[in-house]
Amino acid sequence: MEEYGAAEAESKENIWCRETVPKVFKIVCCTLPLSNTDLVSLLLASPSVHRTLLSCQPLWEVLNLRELKNAGNRLIAALSLPRYRHVKQINLEFARDVEDTHLMLIKDKCFSSLQSLESLNLNACQKISDTGIEAITSCCPQLKSFSIYWNIRVSDLGLQYIVKNCKHIVDLNISGCKNISDQGVQLIADNYPELESLNLTRCVKLTDEGLMSLLPKCLSLRSLNLYALSSFTDAAYRNLGLLSRLKFLDLCGAQNLSDEGLSCISKCKNLESLNLTWCTGVTDEGVISIAKGCTSLQFLRHM
């Protein structure tokens, strides 16, 4: 009788370890924002946990190497594993050691692993140039979101590769890419009519011509960041009134914006957030026109 009881207890324990524990791990992993390092550590918990976690594909659709050292080699190693064959999101923000050579190796060795990629964050990866952009975007035909702020090595040529290889971009952040010119913005206008979010912060080579070519063609924009761009004038700002879907607009530092330009922006009925900090040419008259026209406004900053 005692032997039977011990066998039954051992059987229950095996079931607990083999079935219940892996299920609990799976629920936790799918609920909490665990890092890739945490997930890899959990794989070592037991063979049952290992099998269960590997069978949960959504766990391996995000590859977050933000701020990690040796991120370029880590990325190549991860993408070589079967579990990352359907990765949808890669974050390399502030992974400062990532270079063009890493992205070229990925193209050569891991091309198929990026065919489902939808989001790529290369923010502050300052060793990447147009060459790296060409390599990585050639692997990502389904890419929807691309961010590479604070990179002075990327130019209009890099944008040319992006629009050639990635036809479905709806979210583009090139903030601080100071070598982007009107020619690059024209590429965006001609290729991304469905663009919803665009960040041009501190793209200091842009002129009225670039903005005027962009706005009439990107009418689906919901978020537009023109922070620290003092060269634009009302001639370009008038076209902002065409963006009927716009919800977020940052014009901080728009020193040439006047009440006349602001009256055109007041046509954006769905605007919810507007930053007019350091817009020194704006008076109460312009702000009043915004208050009357932008009836959905929830946040207004003006100093």
What is 154-171 written as a DSSP string? -BHHHHHHHHHH-TT--E
Q: Which domain holds residue 290?
A: 181-302
Specify if 95 maps to a domain. Answer: no
Residue 115, domain member (yes or no) = no
Upper half-sphere CA count for residue 293 (Cβ side, 13 Å): 18
Q: Which residues of the chain have pLDDT under 70?
A: 1-34
Q: Is residue 76 part of a domain?
A: no
- Give the pLDDT score at 55: 76
Last residue of a domain, one of 11, 29, 59: 59
Beta strands in the chain (DSSP E): 62-64, 89-91, 119-121, 145-147, 171-173, 197-199, 223-225, 248-250, 273-275, 299-301
Q: What is the CATH number of the domain that holds 250?
A: 3.80.10.10
The DSSP bridge partners found for residue 214 are none
What is the distance of C-alpha 117 from the center of its chain?
A: 12
In a domain, 282, yes or no: yes
Specify if 149 maps to a domain. Answer: no
Q: What angle do CA 201, 206, 209 make, to 5 degrees?
A: 130
Helices (H) and strands (E) in the chain, counts: 13, 10
Q: Please give the full DSSP string across 1-57, using - where no structure is assigned.
A: -HHHHHHHHHHHHHHIIIIIHHHHHHHHHHHS---HHHHHHHTTS-HHHHHHHHT-G
258 belongs to a structural domain: yes
Using an 8 Å Cβ cutoff, are 86 and 57 in contact? Answer: yes
Q: Does the residue 201 lie in any domain? A: yes
> Which residues fall within 8 angstroms of residue 66, CB to CB, at 6 or more apart?
91, 92, 93, 94, 95, 121
Tokens coding 33: 């924002």
pLDDT given at position 280:
95
The answer to whether 203 touches 182, Cβ cutoff 8 Å, is no
Q: HSE, CB side, 13 Å, CA atoms: give it for residue 10.
A: 6
Q: pLDDT, tens digit, for every residue of 54-75?
A: 777 788 999 999 999 999 999 9
User: How confident is the model at residue 221, as a pLDDT?
Assistant: 98
Amino acid at 72: G
276, amino acid identity: L
Q: What's residue 59's pLDDT?
A: 83
Contact yes or no for 219/245 (Cβ under 8 A): yes
Assigned domain for 256 exists: yes
Number of domains in the chain: 2
What confidence score (pLDDT) does residue 150 get?
94
